[in-house]
Amino acid sequence: MLVKLLIRLILGYVRIEVEGYYIERFINICTINRIFMWNLKREKGVKLYLNIGIKDFKKLNIILRKTNCKVRIKNKRGIPFLLNRYKKRKVFLVCLIIVIALIYVSSKFIWNIEINVKDNYEIKNIQDDLREEGLKRGAIKSKLNIDEIINNIKLKRNDISWMGIDLKGTNIKINIVKAEEPTEILDNTKNCDIVARKDGIINRIIAQNGTAMVKPGDKVKKGDVLIAGYMEGKYTGIRYVHSLGEVTAKIIYKKEKSILFEENIKSITGKKENKYGIKIGNSMIKLYFKKSKYDLYKTETKETKLFKNISIIKTVNEEQIIENVSRSVEEAVNLGKEELSKEIESKIENKENIINKKIEFIESENAVIVTVIYEVEENIGIKKEN
């Protein structure tokens, strides 16, 4: 994508508006004549916005006459227009050409490596393993075999259950899922209790070794002792043991939210514009000269390092509009139910253990308060050494 953009910038292109009643015919004739167009957007049936190279733009006169369409240039972009605008600034032009040449050459290399581990677990020495496989800053993209790198690293390590490598431009994003570690097993000769790891209401308790401290129906809090690590006999007295057993409890997950019947919300239209710049040290060279064409938009900026003090800055502006949304009581309840259920279920370890789900709501003049309650049966016992 970066290489294509550079080629378009070097050769120059224009953003044009074509207006007429035969837009489809205009597009078809351009396609037949192999005129390359991109970023096409239709508006009101009779208007079409598109990007086209300078050479192809000069070929449009005959097609416009055939289709009885009118054309208007909206924007001019690329090196030819920059040269014309800055023809008196020779030093600037020379520097800009050198920078663009460096960007093109550097696009063949990897300059940014991002490692993401699910749930933010730590994977020790993973950078060293990647470097051994040739995946490092400055590596030539064409010489990397992604599948082979993944297989070799997974064979070396037993703490990775899944690994994916995504190559985009000069960036590599590595996603890792850490293999589950076995729960720490206490020495069975050591004295320990079984305690609650969550608040809940006891459903069932089976004490195989130790003394049960609660019974079904009891409410317990996190940290309460469920099975104590001792046993008492009439003749043996008290002896301390390693507790064994299973304790299941009903866990209540409850969330509530107020949903308005009418509200103004920001929504995304799907239209985007990309703007690029070059950062050298603390200085910024913008490769665009106009502000965003959108009145309201969300901005995301990404920096790709090429060298120590040189980066490409990509700014993506995504158009937004403010819409007034009206909801019925049923729609508001369903929206609250959907959002709250999603939040609760993200915290439940095993969804098969859900034993009940309740939806409650209270309607007011302007909103409805939605409450979602999940009842889940879980094993809440965990060993704690005394």
CATH of the domain at 36: 3.30.70.240
Taking alpha carbons only, the member of 68, 62, 71, 92 closest to residue 17 is 71
Measure CA of the first residue to CA of the last residue in the chain; give whole Å: 61
Asked if 281 and 353 sit in the same domain, the reply is: no
Tell me if 95 is assigned to some domain: no
> Could you tell me how far CA 220 lies from the centroid of its own chain?
38
Which two structure tokens, joined as six digits, stand for 64? 């416009």
Q: Which of 178, 207, 236 is the last residue of a domain?
A: 178
Tell me if 105 is assigned to some domain: no
- Range 263-292 average pLDDT: 84
Asked if 173 and 206 sit in the same domain, the reply is: no
87-91, 94-98, 140-144, 379-383 — which one is most confidently predicted on average?
Answer: 379-383
Cα torsion angle, 112, 113, 115, 116, sign: positive
* Pairing of β 367-379 and β 354-363: antiparallel
Asked if 318 and 349 sit in the same domain, the reply is: no
pLDDT tens for each residue of 351-367: 888 999 999 999 998 99
CA-CA distance, 365 to 363, in Å (whole number)? 7
pLDDT over threshold 90, residue 310: no
Tell me if 100 is assigned to some domain: no
94-103, 130-139, 353-362 — which one is most confidently predicted on average?
Answer: 353-362
Q: Which of 284, 302, 322 is the last residue of a domain?
A: 322
Residue 182 or 49, more confident? 49
Band of the pLDDT at 121, cuts 50, 70, 90?
confident
pLDDT of res. 83: 67
Asked if 200 and 174 sit in the same domain, the reply is: no
CA-CA distance, 12 to 89, in Å (whole number)? 19
pLDDT over threshold 90, residue 8: no
Asked if 73 and 145 sit in the same domain, the reply is: no
pLDDT tens for each residue of 185-208: 556 778 899 999 999 999 999 999
Asked if 21 and 73 sit in the same domain, the reply is: yes
The domain in which residue 216 lies consists of 192-248
Tell me if 184 is assigned to some domain: no
pLDDT over threshold 70, residue 246: yes
Angle at 136 (CA atoms; ends 131, 138), nearest 5 degrees: 140
Tell me if 107 is assigned to some domain: no
Residue 8 or 271, more confident? 271
- Range 36-46 average pLDDT: 83
Using a 10 angstrom Cβ sphere, with 0-12 exposed, 13-18 middle and 19 or more buried, the burial of residue 326 is exposed
Band of the pLDDT at 88, cuts 50, 70, 90?
low
Asked if 244 and 276 sit in the same domain, the reply is: no
pLDDT over threshold 60, residue 3: no
CA-CA distance, 230 to 210, in Å (whole number)? 5
Domain count, the chain: 5
Cα torsion angle, 198, 202, 208, 213, sign: positive
How does the average pLDDT of the chain come out, rounded?
85
pLDDT of res. 316: 92
What CATH number has the domain bearing residue 122?
Answer: 3.10.20
Taking alpha carbons only, the member of 24, 386, 368, 372 closest to residue 241 is 386
Tell me if 27 is assigned to some domain: yes
Tell me if 61 is assigned to some domain: yes
Residue 41 or 111, more confident? 41
Report the run of H or E that residue 144 belongs to, with start and end. none
Asked if 9 and 69 sit in the same domain, the reply is: yes
- Among 115-129, 138-152, 192-206, 248-262, where is mean pLDDT lowest? 115-129
Residue 289 or 156, more confident? 156
Tell me if 187 is assigned to some domain: no
Asked if 318 and 330 sit in the same domain, the reply is: no
In the three-class reduction of DSSP (H, G, I as helix; E, B as strand; rest coil), residue 124 is classed as coil
Asked if 212 and 232 sit in the same domain, the reply is: yes
Residue 243 or 104, more confident? 243
Asked if 164 and 135 sit in the same domain, the reply is: yes
pLDDT of res. 75: 87
Q: Which of 205, 220, 248 is the last residue of a domain?
A: 248
The 8 Å CB, 24+ separation contacts for 206-212 are 206/245, 206/246, 206/247, 207/243, 207/244, 207/245, 208/244, 208/245, 208/246, 209/241, 209/242, 209/243, 209/244, 209/245, 210/241, 210/242, 210/243, 210/244, 210/245, 212/245
Asked if 236 and 268 sit in the same domain, the reply is: no
Taking alpha carbons only, the member of 224, 206, 223 closest to residue 215 is 206
